[in-house]
């Protein structure tokens, strides 16, 4: 996500990185480039104007901290103002009553049905007992789609008579009370904000259930258009928060940077992929960090901690330091990485500067991991524990057993040696 914007801003800061002192004309030049980058990322022009003005005023008023270079100072100010731009209201999900009702609505094609299931899965993981409600009576197979998604995550789906959304919602609340469900997630039909009849229907639904959360689901790839949509929905219905979907395909980032500043409504969650697990809380500081090439190590750590226990991390760390890291450990790491998701998404969380930054933008062949795993599995326990014994005849046997070539076996052995050398020489904390 945000690839285009991140690349442009990275180029801007690289230009000034070597300068020991910045004059006012240098600052103006930098901010001009920042302005152009934001506009090209489809950020609302009024938001861009206010943002650049705030950054320039701070650069004029504040003295550069001695521990920072002028370039680092500008980057820091831009980062802080960008965080402020995306921060508004309370981003927590407030579930007050029992059962709590969360109403999801938005334009057609914004991803409401999938988002409802993702949110149900997330809440279930937090210890809640959610109920999904199929209140979209207009789109063919909408209820069926929600039912299939609900089955995949073990969450009940209530569809009622499939005719009257208001009646379905009332029935769903009664059903939740009888069956000990503490959160009712309502998937509504997609509608244009200018469609008075459907907007009136949504208003009646909102009045009937008095939801704890009224969340607008917005396609993150819509850019500036999403701002106008959000503003109109808020004016007509009153929204408590926003869920941005399809951010994994949003190379620009205009919606994320504009929508909160323009509507004063918090973005509470973002959809970052097609899988049920690909819904994450929205953290303005982490998004700003990624946009400015500073990486998102916190999200990466959170993602990895769900897969790899703290004990395993300590164990691997000790092995790396003592140079006893073998192919058994490497195989375990391959499998853990695969569970974390596509490699390009993992690399996207790395800082663009420093050693690990070289991995960003690398064209990753997922099949290469499978080939390397096959090679390791074709080794004997002795060979995995002591790779130095793998010579000519052993390489031929391993290549045949894994369906690869001796050249690929040699390449894996070389990569393994380089990895050991890298971790032996360097403090792991400095890689970031």
The reply to whether 269 and 329 lie within a common domain is no
Q: Is residue 423 part of a domain?
A: yes
* Residue-level pLDDT, tens digit, the chain, 432 residues: 566 777 777 777 777 766 667 777 878 888 888 898 888 888 888 899 999 999 998 888 877 666 567 777 888 888 899 899 899 888 999 998 789 999 999 998 889 999 999 999 999 999 999 999 999 999 888 999 999 999 999 999 999 888 899 999 999 999 999 999 999 999 999 888 778 888 899 999 999 889 999 999 999 888 778 888 898 899 988 999 999 998 876 556 678 888 888 889 999 999 988 889 889 999 888 888 877 766 544 555 555 555 555 565 556 556 555 556 788 877 877 777 666 666 556 556 555 544 444 444 444 566 777 888 899 999 999 999 899 899 999 999 999 999 999 999 999 998 888 777 666 554 444 443
Q: Which of 37, 52, 86 is the last residue of a domain?
A: 86
Whether residue 94 is contained in a domain is answered as: no
Residues 254 and 315 in one domain: no
Please indicate, yes or no, if residue 179 is contained in any of the structural domains.
yes
Q: Which two tokens stand for residue 278?
A: 């690909």
How far apart (Å, rounded) are the C-alpha atoms in residues 107 and 269?
17
The verdict on 326 and 272 lying in the same domain is no
Q: Are residues 140 and 255 in the same domain?
A: yes
79 and 186 share a domain? no
Question: Do residue 315 and residue 287 come from a single domain?
Answer: no
Sort residue 191 into left (φ over 0), alpha (ψ -120 to 50) or beta.
Answer: beta
Domain boundary among 254, 270, 292: 292
Instruction: Specify if 91 maps to a domain.
Output: no
Domain membership flag for residue 93? no
Do 128 and 238 fall within a single domain? yes
Q: Find the CATH number of the domain harbouring 196.
A: 3.40.50.300
> Total domain count for the chain?
3
Same domain for 81 and 212, yes or no, is no
Residues 151, 271: one domain?
A: yes
| 129 and 222 inside one domain | yes
**Where among 86, 114, 139 does a domain terminate?**
86
Q: In angstroms, rounded to a whole number, what is the distance separating the alpha carbons of residues 218 and 427?
A: 43
How many other β-carbons are positioned within 10 Å of the β-carbon of residue 350? 23
Asked whether residue 47 falls in the same domain as residue 118, the answer is no
Paired tokens of 72: 């680092």
Cβ-contact 214, 266 below 8 angstroms: no
Is residue 204 in a domain?
yes
For residue 271, being part of any structural domain is answered with yes
| Cis peptide, bond prior to residue 99, ω within 30 of zero | yes
Structural domain of 382:
299-431
User: Could you tell me if residue 278 is inside a domain?
Assistant: yes
Instruction: Specify whether 304 is located in the same domain as 287.
Output: no
Q: What is the CATH number of the domain that holds 10?
A: 1.20.120.140
Phi, psi (degrees; rounded to nearest 5) at 111: 100, 30
């Amino acid at each position: 996500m945000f690839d285009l914007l991140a690349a442009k801003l990275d180029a801007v800061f690289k230009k000034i990185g070597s300068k020991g002192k910045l004059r006012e004309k240098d600052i103006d030049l930098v901010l001009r480039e920042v302005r152009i980058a934001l506009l090209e990322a489809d950020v609302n022009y009024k938001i861009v104007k206010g943002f650049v003005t705030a950054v320039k005023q701070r650069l004029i008023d504040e003295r550069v901290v001695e521990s920072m270079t002028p370039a680092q100072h500008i980057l820091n100010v831009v980062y802080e103002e960008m965080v402020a731009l995306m921060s508004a209201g309370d981003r927590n999900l407030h579930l007050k009553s029992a059962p709590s009702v969360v109403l999801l609505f938005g334009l057609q094609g914004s991803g409401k049905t999938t988002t409802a299931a993702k949110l149900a899965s997330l809440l279930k993981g937090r210890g809640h007992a959610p109920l999904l409600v199929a209140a979209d009576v207009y789109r063919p197979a909408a209820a069926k789609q929600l039912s299939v998604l609900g089955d995949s995550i073990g969450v009940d789906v209530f569809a009622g008579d499939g005719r009257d959304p208001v009646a379905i919602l009332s029935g769903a609340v009664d059903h939740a009370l009888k069956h000990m469900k503490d959160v009712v997630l309502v998937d509504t039909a997609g509608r244009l904000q200018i469609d008075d009849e459907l907007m009136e229907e949504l208003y009646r639904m909102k009045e009937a259930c008095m939801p704890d959360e009224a969340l607008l689901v917005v396609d993150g790839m819509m850019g500036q258009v999403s701002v106008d949509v959000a503003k109109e929905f808020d004016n007509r219905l009153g929204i408590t928060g926003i869920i941005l979907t399809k951010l994994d395909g949003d190379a620009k980032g205009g919606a994320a940077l504009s929508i909160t500043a323009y509507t004063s409504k918090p973005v509470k969650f973002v959809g970052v992929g097609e899988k049920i697990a690909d819904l994450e809380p929205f953290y303005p500081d982490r998004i700003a960090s990624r946009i400015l090439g500073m990486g998102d190590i916190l999200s990466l750590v959170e993602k990895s901690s769900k897969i790899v226990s703290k004990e395993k991390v300590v164990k691997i760390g000790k092995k790396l330091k003592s140079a006893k890291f073998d192919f058994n450990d490497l195989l375990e790491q391959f499998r853990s990485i695969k569970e974390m998701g596509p490699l390009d998404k993992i690399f996207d969380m790395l800082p663009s500067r420093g050693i690990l930054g070289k991995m960003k933008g690398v064209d990753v062949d997922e099949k290469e991991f499978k080939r390397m795993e096959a090679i390791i599995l074709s080794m004997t326990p002795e060979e995995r524990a002591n790779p130095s014994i793998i010579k000519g005849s052993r390489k031929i046997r391993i290549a045949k057993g894994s369906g690869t070539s001796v050249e690929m076996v040699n390449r894996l052995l070389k990569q393994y040696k380089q990895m050991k050398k890298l971790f032996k020489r360097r403090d792991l904390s400095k890689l970031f």
